[in-house]
Chain A
Amino acid sequence: MKVHRLVSTLIACGLLCASTLASAYDADWKRGRIYYRSVCTSCHAAQAIGAINPSSMSKAEWNAYLQKDKHAKGKDSVKQYFSKSYRASIRSQNKAADKFADLPDDELFEDVKLFLLKGAKDGDAPASCG
């Protein structure tokens, strides 16, 4: 029984690892830039909080923020704004959401993350929203 459990667990882990390796994603910061500016910034700019420049935080701060996954002080999650369902809900009014409607959630998230880290105040190319 224990042997079977061990074997099946190992194989399952192996499959998961293989799957992860196969889909190792090479993030696209330019796509992240488009989504951040067209979706994140356009929504923020219309609200009291205003636009948030990538260069307003350090790489460590962005990493921590994305890791915590708490948007609007914990009212909802950050990742939901990269989900296909969110993109579907705004695609009729937002061209970036429409253009990237079918992109896997994780890939889009990694794209934006790379843009934010690159554009952070201690990043390789500190960036504004515009």
Chain B
Amino acid sequence: MKISHLGLLAGLLFAGIVHAADAPAPTKLNTTADHSKFKELQREFGSGSEVTKACLTCHTEAALQIHRTKHWTWELLNPATQQRLGKKNVINNYCLSAGTNLGSCATCHVGYGWTDASFDFKSQENVDCLICHDTSGNYKKLPNGGLPPVKDTESPPGSGKIVKAIDLAKIAQKVGKTSRDTCGACHFFGGGGDGVKHGEMDSSLASPDKEVDVHMDATGLDFTCSTCHKAPAHDVAGSRYIPTGKDTEGAHIRGKVDNSNPATCQSCHGQAPHKAGAQPAKLNQHADKVACQTCHIPQFARGGVATKMNWDWSTAGKLSPEGKPLLNKDAKGHVIYDSRKGDFVVAENVTPEYAWFNGEVTYTLLGDKVDKADGITLINALGGSAADGRSLIWPMKVMRGTQPYDPVNKTLVMPHLSGNDDTAYWTNFNWEKAIATGMKAANAPFSGQVDFLKTEMYWPITHMVAPKEKAVGCNECHTRGGRLDKIEGIYIPGRDAHQLLDLIGWLAAGGTLAGVMLHALVRIVRRKN
């Protein structure tokens, strides 16, 4: 007994010693810093800014880097058009504009407390590190300028809905690299809900399979957003305000300085991406006129989340007989009417529309003249044609809408939508009051009259790349009535017919055949002689 116990003891000790000698000490392999070990983060935090202060004790330049980015300023100058763009300035045909609605909109600002013009853009402590670096998935911001709930909070005020407090210390101790979840917390939910705005970005990309996106496939390549959208000095590459229509550069190579957009297909795949298959050379030849996305994203909104395709603000404001706002849903549970917002058309698995695009985008901004009599107003007009040598045929989500404008001054308007005050449209359903407040804040004239006009907004599609087996087939374009039926300025075999050209082709083919046969006949006859 005694011997057996000693033997057991010796065995355990030996095993432990051998294990300790052979195996390296356990550690985290996905980071060089375990933030839970930092004393600065081992305390209670009463606000997001307190967390930022702690972050800045080590990451001394981070906030100043953020201050230089469009994620902070919500503003950028397009050097080609000299238009001042960014979320702060543009008008769209979803929720129309940020304007006086910052309390809600700024839940997606990388800062704390932006509700009006008094926000201090020079404050480093106003930078929100956690919105991008949370890995716990528990971080939240309230529609009060994006402050996190450090205690249980009724939000919106008076709604009776309680948002549970979050533990900022726990979240701060788990910070890490950005992920599809952190970027997606805003970019998947643009326009007021999951998948509403982009069409090819929604919550299905948080953990997608290969069918939804070959690059982000969670069990495959598992790209994060920053795999393509590189962010040196916190400045994320690849802007929809100044996109790359045609990347003529080669694939990026480590060590080689390359200032071209790292988020294009070509920045990895180069200019001749097709190496195998039936006709790689023929497919590569297409890359001169056709964007990669045109063939490789056959549909968008493929992950089971519907996207908005049409938003009619002119029908907003209907109330029930009891004077209550209405909310109607379709058979699948999608909201198709909301008294606060009007009628919606939503769709999944949408086949894109196609257009020539060279990367130039010109927005209709506040103050630009618009007229209902002109037909459809383009929220963003895309540059591009078959002839300019800088364009490719791109797939687009075309968002169509009917939105308020000032028929006297002939301008789009920035209404005050959200808020608990008397003039917010979502509270009082009065367009005149809401627009007067919004335009006054924007320092823009408003006649007091409101009408509605039809608008279109173009969204180049670039995510939700399908497996190559699901790429658009030749006969989907090379046919009459196919995907590229409306594309002008280019001859597409199978779609286009020109009598003279066809005649020349047939004559050439027939002549060649006749020549070969005649030649063969002469050879046969001469051999017999």
Contact = CB atoms under 8 A, between A and B. Distances in A.
B122 interface: no
Contacts of B181: 30
A125 B163 CA distance: 12
B1 A1 contact: yes
B137 A8 contact: no
A37 interface: yes
A5 B207 contact: no
B245 to A, nearest CB: 34
Interface stretch (A21-29, A56-64, A66-74): A21-29
Interface in B1-59: 1-2, 5-6, 8-9, 12-13, 16, 25-26, 28
Interface of A: 1, 4-5, 7-8, 11-12, 15, 18-19, 22-23, 26, 29-30, 33-34, 37-38, 95-96, 98-99, 118, 124-125, 130
Contact of B9 (A8, A22, A34, A37): A8
Contact of B12 (A5, A15, A26, A38): A15
A12 to B, nearest CB: 6
B5 A5 contact: yes
Contacts of A5: 5
Main secondary structure of the interface of B (DSSP, over half): loop
Contacts of A95: 209-210, 219-220
A72 to B, nearest CB: 25
Main secondary structure of the interface of A (DSSP, over half): helix
B179 interface: yes
Contacts of B5: 4-5, 8
B218 interface: yes
A1 B207 CA distance: 59
A34 B207 contact: yes
B462 interface: no
A44 to B, nearest CB: 16
Contacts of A19: 16
A98 B219 CA distance: 9
A112 to B, nearest CB: 13
Nearest to B19: A19
A8 B8 contact: yes
A126 B25 CA distance: 36
Interface string B176-204: 00010100000000000000000000001
Given A1-B2, A8-B6, A12-B8, A34 B219 contact: yes
B505 interface: no
Contacts of B118: none
Ranked 10 nearest A-B pairs via Cβ: A95-B219, A8-B9, A124-B138, A34-B218, A8-B5, A96-B219, A99-B219, A15-B16, A130-B304, A33-B207
Contacts of A118: 137-138
B2 A125 contact: no
B137 A29 contact: yes
A37 B218 CA distance: 11
A37 B303 CA distance: 14
B19 to A, nearest CB: 8
